[in-house]
Amino acid sequence: MRVEKEKMVLDRGFSYLLLLAFFFLILFSTNSFAQDPSDTLAPESVTNVDAFDTPNDNGHSITVSWELSSDDGAGKNNVVVYEVYRSDSPEGKFEKRGMVPAGENTFEDQGAKEKDNANYLPSHKNFYYRVRAKSDGLFSDSEISLPAYAYGQWYHTGKTPVLVAVILFSVFAITFITLARKGKLFYIRPLAGIEAVDDAIGRATEMGKPILYIFGLGTADMIATIASFTILSRVAKKTAEYQTPILIPCYDSVVMAVAQETVRAAYLEAGRPDMYKEENIFFLTSMQFAYVAGVNGIMLREKPATNFYLGKFYAESLILAETGSIAGSIQISGTDEIAQIPFFVAATDYTLIGEELYAASAYLGREPVLLGTLKGQDWGKAVVIFSLILGALAASFGFQFFINLFRIQL
């Protein structure tokens, strides 16, 4: 009997323990699955939605701004993104135009200007916008903005520094051109390659050998070729005075025609039109390395005393210069192709580097427009250098206002 009573007591105690364990299990389960209120409530909507034309654009963009939701970084702190919607009517269907992350309060609705583009945004047409503050699966919409339309601007205020630079250079150029036309003499730094032209032509005359003038592979519309025409005029005039033949094999037929007229005019100006021989200025071929082979053959057969390489040159530059060196010629080169300048420096006697080719045409031609432009460019460079020095000092001492004067918005 006593054993049965002890067994009943144990069973009853075990039942109480199971009941207590079940109670605590339910209590902890309820607490663990309880949700944060921020996960069950939508974030507060944004306020003061404003839509306006994007400044300095092409007339196909509208910017939308708003005040952040009170739950962005504070409050329930559950804003994840802001989605921007657009409609052409406040009662119409709003379509999503894009989104920005929490913390951002502007969005640029950039449309295409082509009418056949699916993203076309017409100018001078009213649009309405709405911003949605969104968390995980929950959201709240703002009030609809007032109508706004896009339109293009005549002037891009972000590029004012460029306008100032253009005006400043134009003033310099026009001023110096005007002074040059009035007969004012300007100092131009002597260029060794151009200073050597007269001696090179004189050497050819003494040796009784011709001069070889190469334009390279440029066409008549290239700046380097145009500058070379001016230099050719001076060289041809000197050869006419010294009665030295000049050979000009051409890669381009138009360049050949211009070169013939340039040399003819130079011979006429020198008073020796009878010395001009049109057959000395001829078209060779328009194939790059076939042209190089032909020119090299002329060098080795004719043994010219002086070679001029002035114009546009590519991979053939070193081949020409090395062949001329083998032929024993004095060589004067110049090009605006940066990759070819080292080869000319290494293999020729004188080299006009980059813009020195353009300066040479002004140096030899002495035309007011060329001289004025050259001096205007020099003064423009001086202003740029001075501005760089001031900018470095301003950046060093924290004068942000001066730095912002040169900031350009693309």
- Per-residue pLDDT of 295-340, as tens digits, reads 999 999 999 999 999 999 999 999 999 999 999 999 999 998 999 9
Q: What is the pLDDT of residue 371?
A: 81
Strand ranges inside 220-276, DSSP E: 246-250
Pairing of strands 81-87, 95-101: antiparallel
Q: Does domain 47-141 have CATH number 2.60.40.10?
A: yes
Q: Is the pLDDT of residue 217 over 60?
A: yes
Query: Which option is the CATH number for 192-366: 3.40.50.1220, 3.50.50.60, 3.40.190.10, 1.10.3720.10?
Result: 3.40.50.1220
d(CA 371, CA 346): 30
pLDDT tens digits, residue range 127-162? 999 999 998 888 999 999 999 999 988 888 888 999
Q: Does the fold of domain 192-366 match that of domain 47-141?
A: no
**Edge-to-edge, what's the strand order for the sheet holding 61-67?**
47-53, 61-67, 106-110
Q: Is the pLDDT of residue 50 over 90?
A: yes
* 352 backbone dihedrals φ, ψ, rounded to 5°: -95, 115
What is residue 293's predicted lDDT score, i.e. its pLDDT?
95
pLDDT tens for 374-401 read 888 888 889 999 999 998 999 888 888 8
Residue type, 337: E
Chain centroid, CA 200 distance in Å: 41
> Tens of pLDDT along 81-112?
999 999 999 998 999 999 999 999 999 999 99
% of the chain residues with pLDDT over 70: 90
β 47-53/61-67 pair status:
antiparallel
Mean per-residue pLDDT of the chain: 87
Q: What is the pLDDT of residue 314?
A: 93
Question: What is the pTM for the complete model shown?
Answer: 0.63
- Segment 231-252 shows an average pLDDT of 92
345, 309 Cβ separation under 8 angstroms: no
Q: Report yes or no: 331 and 324 within 8 Å, Cβ to Cβ.
A: yes
Q: Is the separation of the CB atoms in 129 and 90 below 8 Å?
A: no
% of residues, the chain, pLDDT over 90? 57
Sequence-ordered list of residues with C-beta below 8 angstroms from that of 49, at least 6 positions apart, any chain? 64, 65, 66, 129, 130, 131, 142, 143, 144, 145
**Where do the domains of the chain lie?**
47-141, 157-182+371-404, 192-366
Mean per-residue pLDDT, 344-361: 86
Average pLDDT over residues 193-199: 82
Distance of CA 280 to the CA centre of its chain: 42
- The answer to which of 6-15, 44-53, 250-259 has the lowest mean pLDDT is 6-15
Interval 171-192 mean pLDDT? 84
Radius of gyration of the chain (CA): 40
| Residue 15 pLDDT class (50, 70, 90 cuts) | low
Classified as helix, coil or strand, 353 is strand
